[in-house]
């Protein structure tokens, strides 16, 4: 009986997996566990179905917005997202990295250690705000979404009700939002036009879901006051959304990946130059003052490597295969942004925004950790001045 009790309290062990699952508590349902024993995801294909809307968005981005809409776009801080998306992404390459993502650590488990995506990566690749206020959206019912659309999008209650009823909940279709943007521009109702377009833009990029066609109304209140859109930490929202979708996609029974797939693939291109079919667009994103997101450096090239062939390639990666400071040449265009809390400010920590608050702290800490990690591996790292900057950015005030 004593032996049985002891065994019952020992951490579960897996062959070819973690010997102690006290941290990786969801490993029993992780896709990596099944792949080790030759079991692939069920369905018509073993790679994930990626919700990438870059090609669709390219058809909706106008050559030029009306002057007032353009002003709201610029003020929001979201205008770079109009032209950061790849037309398509490589589902095999992305699926390979998803198999190495673990929700408990929010990191990719690589042969040489762990890597994750930081707010600095978001800032450099997308050029959207990474600090300011946090926002935790709440879902709306069909009736609530109808009322909100009538208030903020310039449509009648009857028109909004038909759309939400058609979408069976608190959602709008992407085409309906774009058509409304055109209609509101024609009648010179530019505030409502801007809200329709901005909601469509974030849905096709940083807040993409698996529906491919629907837009969740829960983000619409963020555009209620257009002059204050930039006060939201859009970069943190993008990172939280991506982390959550990676968590979901790492589970064996999941068949698709939401989130901003372009951002993930561009991150892979920047750090892993030997993986995938990298193709450069020819756009120089490192020109000081040009304010071009680094994601525009890349364009889509169809891959010819399948998921099973990628696995041993990632298994063989070493620290020498990684570009540890991919944005060094981009600092003239976008300096490193210290995310810190000033002494005179107070930050309200509660359960609703805790995850995003932790991401901001990890942003500074991970950069300091990367410096230490680089030195352990004899990889070139930031100089002592930069280390001091990061350390000062990590200060916490009582």
Are 167 and 315 in the same domain? yes
Residues 278-317 have pLDDT tens digits of 999 999 999 998 889 999 999 999 888 999 999 999 999 9
* CA distance linking residue 368 with residue 389, whole number of Å: 9
Are 24 and 136 in the same domain? no
* CA distance linking residue 272 with residue 231, whole number of Å: 33
Are 18 and 115 in the same domain? no
Domain assignment present for 375: no
> How many domains is the chain built from?
2
* CA distance linking residue 100 with residue 397, whole number of Å: 36
Are 228 and 280 in the same domain? yes
Of 271, 299, 321, at which residue does a domain stop?
Answer: 321
Q: What is the pTM of this model?
A: 0.84
Helix/strand/coil (H/E/C) assignment for every residue in 332-348: CCCCCCCCCCCCCCCCC
Residues 201-230 have pLDDT tens digits of 999 999 999 999 999 999 999 999 999 999
Inform me whether the pLDDT recorded for 396 exceeds 80. no
- % of the chain surpassing 90 pLDDT: 71
Domain assignment present for 326: no
pLDDT value, residue 20: 78
* Domain extent at residue 17: 2-36
Strand order in the sheet with 113-115: 101-102, 107-110, 113-115
Inform me whether the pLDDT recorded for 238 exceeds 60. yes
Tokens matching residue 344: 């005179």
């Amino acid at each position: 009986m004593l032996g049985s009790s002891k065994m019952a309290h020992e951490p579960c062990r897996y062959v070819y997996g973690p010997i102690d699952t006290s941290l990786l508590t969801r490993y029993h349902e992780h896709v990596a566990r099944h792949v080790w024993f030759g079991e692939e995801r069920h369905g018509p294909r073993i790679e994930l179905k990626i919700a990438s809307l870059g090609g669709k968005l390219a058809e909706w981005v106008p050559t030029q917005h009306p002057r007032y809409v353009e002003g709201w776009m610029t003020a929001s801080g979201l205008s770079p997202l109009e032209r950061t998306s790849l037309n398509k992404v490589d589902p095999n390459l992305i699926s390979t990295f998803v198999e190495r993502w673990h929700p408990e650590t929010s990191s990719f488990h690589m042969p040489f250690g762990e890597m994750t995506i930081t707010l600095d990566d978001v800032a450099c690749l997308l050029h959207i705000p990474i600090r300011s206020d946090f926002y935790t959206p709440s879902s709306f019912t069909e009736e609530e979404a109808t009322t909100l659309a009538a208030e903020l999008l310039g449509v009648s209650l009857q028109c909004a009700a038909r759309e939400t009823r058609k979408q069976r909940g608190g959602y709008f279709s992407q085409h309906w939002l774009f058509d409304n943007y055109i209609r509101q521009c024609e009648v010179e109702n530019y505030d409502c036009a801007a809200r329709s377009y901005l909601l469509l833009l974030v849905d096709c990029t940083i807040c993409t879901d698996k529906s491919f066609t629907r837009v969740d109304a829960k983000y619409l209140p963020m555009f209620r006051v257009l002059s204050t859109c930039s006060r939201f930490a859009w970069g943190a929202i993008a990172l939280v959304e991506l982390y959550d979708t990676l968590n979901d996609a790492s589970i064996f029974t999941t068949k698709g990946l939401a989130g901003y797939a372009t951002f993930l693939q561009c991150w892979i291109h920047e750090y892993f130059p030997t993986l995938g079919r990298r193709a450069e667009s020819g756009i120089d994103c490192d020109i000081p003052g040009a304010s071009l997101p680094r994601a525009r450096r890349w364009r889509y090239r169809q891959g010819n490597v399948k998921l099973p062939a990628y696995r041993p390639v990632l298994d063989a990666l070493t620290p020498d295969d990684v570009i540890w400071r991919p944005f060094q040449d981009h600092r003239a265009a976008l300096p490193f942004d210290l995310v810190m809390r000033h002494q005179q400010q107070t930050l309200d920590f509660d359960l609703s925004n805790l995850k995003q608050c932790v991401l901001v702290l990890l942003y500074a800490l991970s950069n300091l950790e990367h410096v230490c990690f680089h030195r352990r591996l004899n990889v070139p790292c930031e100089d002592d001045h930069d280390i001091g900057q990061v350390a000062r950015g990590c200060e916490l005030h009582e």
